[in-house]
Structure 1
């Protein structure tokens, strides 16, 4: 299963390859910035929920379906305080997406 759905990425970028590269780079940067703070229990829950929300939107913009779904689940659990936050699963999904982005660059 692909981490980035090319059809969704094309839909979001109008098939513009340069724009797709740009949004993938932005997404990769956000992942690297957001994930450590999202996983940090010292960061307040509401701030972590906002980070998960931002990551969810970024993932939707590039077609990273699994990252979006897991960020959505993390946001919901952080906002309502129920259950564990799926940070490990999210980190795995992000790693897969970043690896796919890097492979596309090679």
Structure 2
């Protein structure tokens, strides 16, 4: 009776970890998303929502660009400084404070 070797025949490639690291890096590069460019109208809308959320302490959904991907979080805007292109966002569930660049913002909306 003949027995199938299964995955044993591919064991020789396990000795080349550099190949797997290189392939994983290529796959990660292909999965990256390019940064979205907003129109003037979208930037004005985001600015309006940020200011209202800052003054009323309303909870908002924020989507921003970071390391080749889009990240969405929910929380409260604590501080906005347009001259330094930064705002501070507090995620109440995870009790985390995040410093995000205004130029990385993609979308802001009220819950």
TM-score normalised by length of structure 1:
0.31
Q: Which has the higher contact order (CA 8 A, sep 6+)?
A: 1
**Which is higher, the Rg of structure 1 or of structure 2?**
2
Structure having the higher helix fraction is 1
TM-score normalised by length of structure 2:
0.30
